[in-house]
């Protein structure tokens, strides 16, 4: 690794004995290892069953199923909200016997304090997030020398497609996709050559704000379920408090898996802001999220001078933490029965899923490592757990200051280090360590095995 700066701490989970340390007290950029701090704090403070709410509010429907007046869609920053979830709102409204809304559909982008009286003034922006504020452009070949097939997901009147493609015989497609706003629409122009027989091309693109998209998708879903909207779609607040339909998100445990396994920055930042909002008032901000995570790390005994955190995803060169501090935190989490099961389940599994699905292929570490990766320009990190059941090692590996082309070398070295830990465990299986008396009851050997919805065991197998 040449002149790269490397920090490592390896410790036994049972008694906290440090087995190896190199620059372990140094301050390093954790990159996406930061997501471990964010999700652990959220699970500890909010609970694994915390849910985001997305609601449709408006006047009470009459006996004929008519809502007379405007209705409003309100969110709470749910990063897992999908078109299916909005369709659920429309379905529930239809199931109540509603057939018509005689008014406009408002989409309120502001956050509302759940502890305030209904209809209280909202604050901030970004409370409605659909498909993580993104959309997809799908392009497929049509008949030779004719236009290709272009569609945008999610389906809604928000998007207008201009198809300038031509289907040709070629080895690859050569496409140009342009998108711009025209009034209340996003015009998506697709031009170029679509290769015949090369399958579907999908381009994922970012929306600056999901509020308008959510409103259009809900309007489409209302029509699908037989509810007529006589008015228009509008963005802004509406002072109405009667709930017509409510969608509760997947659990926070599930949202944390979306953050950690594929290392999704958008979801991690959403969790960070949510944590700040729940502990220190809406709207959630980076500053409030930082305050909440600092409170959590302090409660776990991590010294304040051992880290610096400014966001929840690690997409910055400002975050800092020492390998020793992170390893100590991970060991503390491992023996926290309230947090450990869902936290461990959120991490990628070596050779199986997430960001380390391919890194450990062909090694004996497959299925025996749960970890979080971290990658920035000149930075590579890997921290987590290796072992099986009670015989577990906690590790934190930080590398920085290398040329970007050396990233694959850094990752290979991390794999070799983890394999060395596993060899140590296998050599030591005849005499497993016992917990020291200062670490709680001797029978507490780690999180109990349980079965999660994804079928994964909570131990490290």
| Residues 137-175 pLDDT 10s | 999 999 999 999 999 999 988 999 999 999 999 989 999
Torsion of CA 218, 221, 225, 227, to 10 degrees: 40
Rounded distance between C-alpha atoms, residue 355 and residue 381, angstroms: 12
pLDDT above 90 as % of the chain: 84
Examine the domain organization and report whether 110 and 218 are in the same domain.
Answer: yes
Chosen domain end from 182, 206, 230: 206
Examine the domain organization and report whether 330 and 378 are in the same domain.
Answer: yes
Examine the domain organization and report whether 21 and 70 are in the same domain.
Answer: no
> Phi and psi at residue 331, in whole multiples of 5°?
-65, -40
Residue ranges with strand state E in 271-310: 307-308
Residue 453 lies in a domain: no
Residue 344 lies in a domain: yes
Number of residues assigned to the chain: 461
CB atoms within 10 A of CB 138: 15
Residue 458 lies in a domain: no
Residue 46 and residue 339 in contact, taking contact as beta carbons nearer than 8 Å: no
Residue 186 lies in a domain: yes
Rounded distance between C-alpha atoms, residue 288 and residue 276, angstroms: 4
Q: What is the 3-state secondary structure (H, E, C) of 81-128?
A: CCHHHHHHHHHHHHHCCCCEEECCEEEECCECCCCCCCCCCCECCCCC
Residue 455 lies in a domain: no
Chosen domain end from 248, 272, 300: 248
Residue 448 lies in a domain: no
Examine the domain organization and report whether 90 and 227 are in the same domain.
Answer: yes
Q: What is the mean pLDDT of residues 105-118?
A: 79
**Confidence category of residue 127, pLDDT binned at 50, 70, 90:** very high
Examine the domain organization and report whether 45 and 57 are in the same domain.
Answer: no
Residue 456 lies in a domain: no
Examine the domain organization and report whether 31 and 18 are in the same domain.
Answer: yes
**Residues 168-226 pLDDT 10s:** 999 899 999 999 999 889 999 999 999 998 889 999 999 988 999 999 999 999 999 99
In sequence order, which residues have a C-beta less than 8 Å from that of residue 314 and are 6 or more positions away? 30, 31, 32, 33, 34, 35, 265, 268, 374, 376
> Residue 57 burial (CB < 10 Å; 0-12/13-18/19+)?
buried
Residue 392 and residue 385 in contact, taking contact as beta carbons nearer than 8 Å: yes
Structure tokens at 455: 């079928």
Report the CATH number that the domain containing residue 268 is assigned in CATH: 3.40.710.10
Examine the domain organization and report whether 367 and 407 are in the same domain.
Answer: yes
Question: What mean pLDDT value characterizes the chain?
Answer: 90
Examine the domain organization and report whether 406 and 284 are in the same domain.
Answer: yes
Structure tokens at 325: 């501090």
pLDDT above 70 as % of the chain: 91
| pTM of the entire predicted model | 0.88
Give the distance, in angstroms, between the CA of residue 431 and the centroid of all CA atoms in the same chain: 40
Structure-model confidence comparison of residues 432 and 234, the more confident one: 234
Residue 12 and residue 28 in contact, taking contact as beta carbons nearer than 8 Å: no
Structural domain that includes position 37: 5-49+252-439
Chosen domain end from 248, 273, 308: 248
End-to-end CA distance of the chain: 31
Examine the domain organization and report whether 268 and 398 are in the same domain.
Answer: yes
Examine the domain organization and report whether 166 and 297 are in the same domain.
Answer: no
Rounded distance between C-alpha atoms, residue 205 and residue 137, angstroms: 8
Domain count, the chain: 3
| Site of tokens 């909010």 | 46
Examine the domain organization and report whether 396 and 302 are in the same domain.
Answer: yes
Examine the domain organization and report whether 383 and 425 are in the same domain.
Answer: yes
| Site of tokens 């935190």 | 329
Describe the strand order of the beta sheet including 149-153 as a list of residue ranges.
Answer: 149-153, 134-140, 201-206
**Confidence category of residue 452, pLDDT binned at 50, 70, 90:** very low
């Amino acid at each position: 690794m040449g002149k790269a700066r490397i920090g490592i701490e390896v410790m036994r989970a049972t008694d906290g004995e440090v087995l190896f340390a190199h620059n372990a007290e140094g301050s390093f950029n954790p990159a996406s290892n930061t997501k471990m701090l964010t999700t652990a704090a959220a699970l500890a403070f909010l609970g694994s069953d915390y849910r985001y709410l997305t609601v449709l509010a408006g006047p009470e429907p009459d006996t004929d199923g008519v809502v007379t007046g405007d209705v409003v869609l309100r969110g709470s920053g749910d990063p897992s909200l999908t078109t299916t979830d909005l369709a659920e709102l429309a379905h529930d409204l239809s199931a109540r016997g509603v057939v018509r809304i005689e008014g406009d559909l408002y989409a309120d982008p502001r956050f509302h304090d759940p502890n305030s009286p209904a209809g209280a003034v909202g604050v901030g922006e970004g409370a409605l997030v659909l498909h993580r504020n993104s959309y997809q452009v799908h392009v497929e070949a049509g008949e030779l020398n004719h236009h290709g097939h272009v569609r945008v997901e999610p389906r809604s009147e928000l998007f207008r497609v201009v198809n300038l493609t031509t289907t040709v015989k070629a080895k690859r497609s050569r496409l140009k996709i342009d998108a711009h706003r025209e009034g209340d629409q996003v015009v998506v122009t697709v031009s170029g050559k679509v290769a015949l027989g090369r399958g579907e091309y999908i381009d994922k693109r970012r929306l600056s704000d999901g509020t308008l998209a959510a409103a259009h998708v809900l309007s489409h879903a209302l029509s699908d379920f037989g509810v007529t909207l006589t008015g228009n779609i509008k963005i802004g607040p509406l002072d109405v408090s009667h709930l017509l339909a409510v969608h509760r998100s997947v659990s926070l445990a599930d949202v944390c898996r979306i953050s950690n396994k594929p290392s999704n920055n958008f979801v991690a930042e959403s969790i960070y802001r949510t944590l700040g909002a729940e502990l220190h008032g809406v709207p959630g901000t980076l500053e409030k999220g930082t305050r909440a995570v600092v409170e959590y790390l302090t409660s776990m005994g991590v010294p304040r001078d051992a880290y610096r955190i400014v966001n929840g995803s690690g997409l910055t060169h400002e975050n800092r933490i020492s390998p020793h501090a992170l390893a100590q935190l991970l060991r503390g989490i491992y023996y926290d029965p309230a947090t450990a099961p869902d936290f461990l389940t959120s991490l990628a599994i070596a050779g199986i899923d997430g960001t380390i699905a391919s890194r450990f292929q062909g090694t004996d570490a497959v299925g025996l490592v749960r970890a979080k990766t971290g990658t920035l320009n000149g930075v590579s990190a890997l921290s987590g757990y290796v072992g099986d059941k009670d015989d577990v090692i906690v590790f934190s590996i930080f590398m920085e200051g290398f040329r970007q082309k050396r990233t694959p070398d850094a990752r290979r070295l991390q794999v070799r280090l983890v394999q060395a830990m596993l060899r140590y465990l296998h050599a030591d299986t005849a005499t497993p360590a016992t917990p020291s008396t200062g670490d709680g009851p001797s029978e507490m050997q780690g999180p109990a095995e349980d079965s999660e919805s994804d079928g994964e065991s909570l131990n490290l197998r």
